Amino acid sequence: MNILCNGEEREIAPGTSIGVLLKDLGLDPDSVVAECDSRILKREEYDTFVLDEGAALELIRFVGGG
Amino acid sequence: MLLVNEREVAFTLGVCPQDLAARLKPGADIFIVNGYPVDAAAELQDGDACWLICRGETPPAEEMDRLLYARHTPGVHEKVKKAVVGVMGLGGLGSSVAVALARIGTGKLLLADFDVVEPSNLNRQQYFIDQVGMKKTEALKRNLARINPYVEVETVDEELTEERIPDIFQNVDVLAECFDSAAMKAAALRAALIGLKGKGYVGVSGVAGYADNNRIQTRELFPGIFIVGDGETAAMPGRGLMAPRVGIAAHHQANQVLRILLGKAEVRS
């Protein structure tokens, strides 16, 4: 099935959580803000929030330094 | 009529600042007319606003206010002096953001950090070597007071968390995220998006090393929510943080805070 991730179509397995997707993308979940269908997700939801077909996901990734 | 240090004084043709100083402020050696420094013998015009200042003397609050008012674009100072800005983290970004905002006379700064000044901070942070070991909140408060003692500074000496951020910063107009850690940057943005709706926000990601200046940009993520940086240049062993590039980002941040305060950027509700 497909979702829209940062504006691009992406194929994922049914049942994929945000946490699993971030792992597949090689991103540290602690450094990412995730918005799914215009809702900002809490950090503790990442492992339980399952992406639906057609979900519009925005991932905002941070790098350290300041 | 002239306005001399806020008092009305009769205008006479050919009068110059040193004549006024002799009568009204003996010892004055800095002369500001309509916001700009002039010579002691500069010819004044009817209606000019003059400040006579003794070098080394701290100008009183209303004098600082008038000087900033005259120096800034009309309409700017009234908004800036009413503003409350929160700064999360007082490192290379936060200390420079706070200095820039204090210099323009921001009404109140709410500054948060839990750390002390370390020698390694001095390559980019707005502290002095005799402040090593001092709490950053206290050291920065002192430094800002030496720039403009009339900016109100409140400090929060604790390690911020995603849960605490909405409580601590609920009364600010704009929030600047100046953390070092990527996890706290993400946590702070979540906290703002979920718990501080309607506030302006300016965060940072990607400021390390000495990569190209112009890759540092200010992008709007959501209405009123901005991220500064190149988005990818992380601090890591072999690529440190240095005053020039962190300073570029900090001043992008401070200017974006100012733009939000002046209504140049829409804020999401």
Asked if B193 has any chain A CB less than 8 Å from its own CB, the reply is yes
Domain range for A16: 2-61
Which pLDDT score is estimated for B69?
A: 84
Q: Are strands B7-9 and A56-61 parallel, antiparallel or unpaired?
A: unpaired
- Tell me the CATH number of domain B2-71, given options 3.30.1300.10, 3.10.20.30, 1.20.1260.10, 3.10.450.50: 3.10.20.30
Q: Which residue from B196, B92, A4 is spatially nearest to B187, judged by alpha carbons?
A: B196
* 3-state secondary structure (DSSP) of residue B32: strand
What string of pLDDT tens digits covers the 269 residues of chain B?
A: 999 988 899 999 999 999 999 999 999 999 999 888 999 999 999 999 998 999 988 888 888 888 888 888 878 999 999 999 999 999 999 999 999 999 999 999 999 999 999 999 999 999 999 999 999 999 999 999 999 999 999 999 999 999 999 999 999 999 999 999 999 999 999 999 999 999 999 999 999 999 999 999 999 999 999 999 999 999 999 999 999 999 999 999 999 999 999 998 776 55
Instruction: Say how many C-beta atoms besides its own lie within 10 A of residue B38's C-beta.
Output: 17
Give the gap in angstroms from C-alpha A49 to the nearest C-alpha of chain B. 16
Residue B60's alpha-carbon distances to B56, B57, B79, B161, in angstroms, are 12, 9, 20, 39
A54 Rama sector, left if φ>0, alpha if ψ -120 to 50, beta otherwise: left
Reported as a single tens digit per residue, the pLDDT across B185-207 is 999 999 999 999 999 999 999 99
Could you give phi then psi for residue B32, rounded to 5 degrees?
Answer: -115, 125
Which pLDDT score is estimated for A44?
A: 96
Which pLDDT score is estimated for B268?
A: 59
The Cα B30–Cα B257 span in angstroms is: 32
CATH number of the domain bearing residue A19: 3.10.20.30
Say yes or no for a CB contact (<8 Å) between B190 and A32: no
Report the number of distinct structural domains present in chain A: 1
* A66 in a structural domain: no
- Tell me the CATH number of domain B76-261, given options 3.40.50.720, 3.10.20.10, 3.40.50.410, 3.40.50.150: 3.40.50.720
Q: DSSP class of residue B59?
A: P
* A38 in a structural domain: yes
Q: Which residue from B143, B138, B161, B133 is spatially nearest to B102, judged by alpha carbons?
A: B143
Nearest to A65 among B183, B227, B235 (CB): B235
Which pLDDT score is estimated for A35?
A: 97
Say yes or no for a CB contact (<8 Å) between B190 and A40: yes
Which pLDDT score is estimated for B269?
A: 53
Among B190, B204, B253, pick the best mutation site for testing chain A contact (most A Cβ within 10 A). B190
Instruction: Say how many C-beta atoms besides its own lie within 10 A of residue B195's C-beta.
Output: 15
Give the gap in angstroms from C-alpha A29 to the nearest C-alpha of chain B. 8
Say yes or no for a CB contact (<8 Å) between B178 and A66: yes
Which pLDDT score is estimated for B157?
A: 98
- Residue pair B90/B137 in contact by the 8 Å Cβ criterion: yes
Tokens of B251: 């001043």
Say yes or no for a CB contact (<8 Å) between B205 and A30: no
Residue B230's alpha-carbon distances to A8, A63, B6, B81, B101, in angstroms, are 21, 10, 47, 31, 23
The strand pairing partners of B177, in sequence order, are B88
* 3-state secondary structure (DSSP) of residue B211: coil
Instruction: Answer with the residue of higher pLDDT: B36 or A53.
Output: A53
* A16 in a structural domain: yes
* Annotated domain spans of chain B: 2-71, 76-261
Asked if B163 has any chain A CB less than 8 Å from its own CB, the reply is no
Which pLDDT score is estimated for B10?
A: 95
- Residue pair B175/B200 in contact by the 8 Å Cβ criterion: yes
ipTM of the complex: 0.96
* A44 in a structural domain: yes
Residue B125's alpha-carbon distances to A33, B45, B122, B144, in angstroms, are 27, 44, 5, 13
